[in-house]
Chains A and B, each alone.
Chain A
Amino acid sequence: MKKFFSLFKKNKATGERNTFLLLGAIITGLMLLMVIVGLFYTPYNPTKMDASAKLQGISLKHIMGTDNMGRDVFSRVMYGSRITVAIATFTIIIGAGIGTIIGALTGYFGGIADEITMRIIDAMLAFPSILLSLVFVSLFGTGTYQVAIALGISFIPSFARIVRGEFLRCKNMDYVEVARLQGVSDIRIIFVHILPNTVGVLLSSVMIGFNNAVLAEAGLSFLGIGAQPPHASLGKMLSDAQGYLFNRPSYVISIGVVIVLMVLGFSFLGEGIKRIK
Chain B
Amino acid sequence: MRYILKKVLSMVLTLIVVSLCVFLAFSLIPGDPVTRMFGTEATPELIAQYREKMGFNDPLLVRYFRWFTSFLQGDMGTSYDYKVPVAGMLAEKIPITLTLAVMSFVIMVIISIPLGIYTAKYENGIIDHIISVINQIIMAIPPFFSGILLTFFFGVILKIFTPGGFVSYTKDLHGFLKYLILPAFAIALPKAAMATKLLRGSVIEEAGKDYTRTAYSRGNTTNAVLYLHVLKNAMIPVITFMGMALADMVAGSIVIEQVFGIPGVSRILLSSINNRDYPVVEAIIMGIAIMVLVINLLVDIIYRIIDPRIEVEE
Output the least CB separation between A265 and chain B (Å). Answer: 9
Bound complex: CA A211 to CA B139 (Å): 10
Is there a chain A Cβ closer than 8 Å to B259's Cβ? yes
Is there a chain B Cβ closer than 8 Å to A10's Cβ? no
Are the CB atoms of A264 and B140 closer together than 8 Å? Answer: yes
Bound complex: CA A90 to CA B273 (Å): 23
Chain B residues with Cβ below 8 Å from A38 are: none
Chain A residues with Cβ below 8 Å from B278 are: 138
Output the least CB separation between B19 and chain A (Å). Answer: 11
Chain B residues with Cβ below 8 Å from A120 are: 17, 21
Are the CB atoms of B270 and A127 closer together than 8 Å? Answer: no
Q: How many chain-B residues does the 8 Å CB contact rule pick out? A: 46
Are the CB atoms of A131 and B285 closer together than 8 Å? Answer: yes
Output the least CB separation between A239 and chain B (Å). Answer: 8
Q: Which of B22, B145, B251, B274 contacts A224 (CB 8 A)?
A: B274
Q: Which of A134, A260, A268, A271 contacts B141 (CB 8 A)?
A: A260
Is there a chain B Cβ closer than 8 Å to A37's Cβ? no
Excluding A137-B273, A138-B281, A263-B142, 5 further A-B contacts by CB distance (< 8 Å) are A128-B250, A141-B276, A219-B144, A222-B258, A223-B255
Using A218-B142, A245-B148 as known contacts, say yes or no to A131 and B251 having CB atoms under 8 A apart.
yes
Are the CB atoms of B145 and A238 closer together than 8 Å? Answer: yes
Are the CB atoms of B17 and A131 closer together than 8 Å? Answer: no
Residues on B facing A (Cβ under 8 Å): 14, 17-18, 21-22, 25-26, 29, 136-137, 139-142, 144-145, 148-149, 151-152, 155-156, 163, 247-248, 250-252, 254-255, 258-259, 269-270, 272-274, 276, 278, 281, 285, 288-289, 292-293, 296
Are the CB atoms of B276 and A138 closer together than 8 Å? Answer: yes
Q: Which of B156, B288, B293 contacts A246 (CB 8 A)?
A: B156
Are the CB atoms of A142 and B136 closer together than 8 Å? Answer: no
Bound complex: CA A267 to CA B197 (Å): 14
Q: Which of B17, B140, B293 contacts A119 (CB 8 A)?
A: B17
| 9 A-B interface contacts by CB (under 8 A) | A123-B14, A126-B14, A135-B25, A138-B281, A142-B274, A218-B142, A219-B255, A256-B145, A260-B141
Of all chain B residues, which has the CB nearest A128?
B251
Is there a chain B Cβ closer than 8 Å to A204's Cβ? no
Q: Which of B151, B156, B247 contacts A127 (CB 8 A)?
A: B247
Bound complex: CA A162 to CA B258 (Å): 33
Output the least CB separation between B296 and chain A (Å). Answer: 6
Are the CB atoms of A134 and B139 closer together than 8 Å? Answer: no
Question: A96-148: which have CB < 8 Å to B?
Answer: 119-120, 123, 126-131, 134-135, 137-139, 141-142
Chain A residues with Cβ below 8 Å from B156 are: 245-246, 249
Bound complex: CA A215 to CA B252 (Å): 12
Chain A residues with Cβ below 8 Å from B17 are: 119-120, 123
